[in-house]
Structure 1
Amino acid sequence: MPSGEFDLIARYFTRPTRRQPLGVGDDCALLAPQAGMHLAVSSDMLVEGRHFLSTVAPEHLGHKALAVNLSDLAACGAQPMAYTLALALPRMDATFLAGFAQGLHRLADEHGIELVGGDTTAGPLNICITVFGEVPRGQALLRSGARAGDDIWVSGQLGDARLGLEALRGTVALSKADFIHARKALECPTPRVALGLALRGVASSAMDLSDGLVGDLRHILARSASHAPIRATLHIDALPRSNALRRQSRTRQHLCLMSGGDDYELLFTAEPAKRAQVLAAAAQSDTPVSCIGRMEAATTTTTPNEALIRVLDAQGMTLSTPWTSFDHFTA
């Protein structure tokens, strides 16, 4: 059992410094992006009861805490460099800390990054990670580049994380195999860093899916509208989904796909002329991608948000869109 804060840091989070001038142990970490690079920085906080359940395995929590931040770097097309960790713990728990650190360090090692600082304190379980990456100047993927005529793409499969959450809440019954699949999607998302890097110079806009497809797509529409008003048409049958989700009712499938949240896949746009390049980027990064719709010119910038996204069924009929995105202060 750690004897105090500094013993906790030394035992679970201090590792040999490999790349950065300073690692854990000084008042600041020193990061040196290469010449011609921008520093990409993102922070995410995970709060028990809001972002994860108390039943999550500690190693899965360590993985997810870093994965959701790496997903932001992926959406920007940035190469991960380092990260900091701020951790509030209700009590010293050696079993929890060992598992949490194992999941955290394993994912960090997969991406060749290291922990370079942070803080620990007593309090309700709360995890805040800040990641640092680098991207060539002028090549970052942004939310603001979508244009009328662009294809809309997503990586991987959508909706499984929400399906796993509903299973844990007891609102849906799954087979053992489907439950394992959905729970892994919820607790151990895969940050699409390799795809983000491969999409530099190909995608016109990008972001990661954290709060649901409908809500996150609205962010791209809003940020891109400063150039010219646009709207999105989606084909609901084109949305990629697992067999586990296909075994659910159409209503539940649509809910999980459109507003499920916690997918941490990439949502991006690209010109139709670059479809071959998108597929090449997917193959290069070993990441499946699906074209799910198209951006179109909108007639006015005052159209309500709900009307900016049109969803079509297999017969080309417009579906009602009651789906909303996750909001931390209303959920």
Structure 2
Amino acid sequence: MKEFDFIRQYLYHQKNDNNILLGIGDDAAIIRPKPNHDLCFSSDMLINNRHFFANVAPSDLAHKVLAVNISDMAAMGATPRWVLLSVALPELEETWLTAFCDHFFALAKQFDITLIGGDTTKGDFAFNVTIIGELPEGKALRRDAAQTGDDIWVSGKVGLAAAALNHHWGKVALPPKIFDTCEQSRLRPTPRVALGQAILPFAHAAQDISDGLAQDLGHILKASEVGADIFADSLPTLPALYDVLEKTLVYDYTLAGGDDYELVFTAPEACRNDILNAAQISHTPVTHIGKITQSGHLNIFDANGEPIQLNSLGFDHFG
């Protein structure tokens, strides 16, 4: 199969979208945003043997390639609308391409996202998605908007992907049932778009958790010039991990493991019922884990109120 046959056969998916003036097939796509809306742009790159294992199933890879980008839109409270996909593949193998593209477009359809362009080249499995979302003008959830006294919340469960990765690396040995649960979380993260939109009217700041909760919360603290107190035993995770791992390891995975793609966000204490209602409406569990303070730094405490020191706050590509 040749490059342009691949594009026509697998990537040329058009649907009715009045905002798309020109889609795939020209030098650039043209979109016209809705009046009184802001556009959000984000881009993520996933590379073989860095972000995924070489033997990953194409359907799992397709899910993660798109889901991690959708998660960025969720953290802004935005509606994901359009994506550009650039890929480097060693060969155009039709069985692999069919599995990858079928799942990519199934997930895109689930969130009503349209592919509007990208690029293809020969290389060792690299994927870059640029995603564009929209939201009402001036309403984005930003890192620089946390306020002293805000509650800190986390969606879903954290630490499962890190546990699965450490099992792969031979650093821990998880029982099969626990590993399967953690591995599913690692391979198929759930973008929290509905939650991001539901909390948009009253949340202050938000961030998706890609590199570790402590590190990503730290981005909010730095941008907002505030501090935080959080409680490690309050972090939502798979309870069975405490049965099979040392507590310090569970702390490491939940606080600094990364690859969770959950949301950490802040909101006024007076909005607790609103947050819980938003969680119910969006079918997304949320957990209150701490408070925004004036300290200017992150304090982490265990169940006895003792401070916890981490060797690392999270993942660093060049660390």
TM-score normalized by structure 2?
0.96
* 2:260 partner letter: D
> Which residue of 1 is the match for residue 315 of structure 2?
326
Matched, 1:316 2:305: yes
Counting matched residue pairs gives 316
**Matched-pair contact (CA < 8 Å) for 1:311–1:321:** no
Matched ranges for 1:153-192 at <5 A? 153-192=153-192
Distance 1:6 1:107 in 2: 23
Matched, 1:147 2:147: yes
Name the SS of the counterpart of 1:211 in structure 2. coil
Matched, 1:235 2:231: yes
> Which residue of 2 is the match for residue 114 of structure 1?
114
After the TM superposition, which of the residue ranges 27-36 and 54-63 deviates more from structure 2?
A: 27-36
TM-score normalized by structure 1?
0.93
Task: After superposition, give the CA deviation of every residue in 1:218-262 in whole Å (9 maximum; x if it has no partner).
Answer: 10011001xxxx211111111001134233220210110011010
What is the Cα-based RMSD across aligned positions, in Å? 1.2
> Where does structure 1 differ by over 3 angstroms across 4 or more consecutive aligned residues?
none
After the TM superposition, which of the residue ranges 92-101 and 242-251 deviates more from structure 2?
A: 242-251
* 1:145 partner letter: A
**Matched-pair contact (CA < 8 Å) for 1:159–1:245:** no
Give the CA deviation at 1:320. 2.3
* 2:262 partner letter: E
Give the CA deviation at 1:21. 2.6
Matched ranges for 1:76-87 at <5 A? 76-87=76-87
- Residues 245 and 32 of structure 1: is their aligned pair in 2 closer, same or farther, counting only changes over 3 Å? farther
Which of 2, 5, 8 pairs up with 2:6?
A: 8
After the TM superposition, which of the residue ranges 232-241 and 162-171 deviates more from structure 2?
A: 162-171
Name the SS of the counterpart of 2:154 in structure 1. strand
Distance 2:240 2:102 in 1: 29
Task: After superposition, give the CA deviation of every residue in 1:105-143 in whole Å (9 maximum; x if it has no partner).
Answer: 111010011111111001121000011110111110000
Distance 2:310 2:213 in 1: 12
Distance 1:322 1:130 in 2: 33
Give the CA deviation at 1:23. 2.4
- Residues 130 and 138 of structure 1: is their aligned pair in 2 closer, same or farther, counting only changes over 3 Å? same
Identity of aligned residues (%): 43
Which of 232, 235, 246 pairs up with 1:249?
A: 246
Give the CA deviation at 1:16. 2.6
Task: After superposition, give the CA deviation of every residue in 1:147-202 in whole Å (9 maximum; x if it has no partner).
Answer: 11111100000000111111222222222221211111111100000000111121
Distance 2:125 2:116 in 1: 21
Flag structure 1 segments of 5+ consecutive residues without an equivalent: 302-307
**Matched-pair contact (CA < 8 Å) for 1:152–1:293:** yes
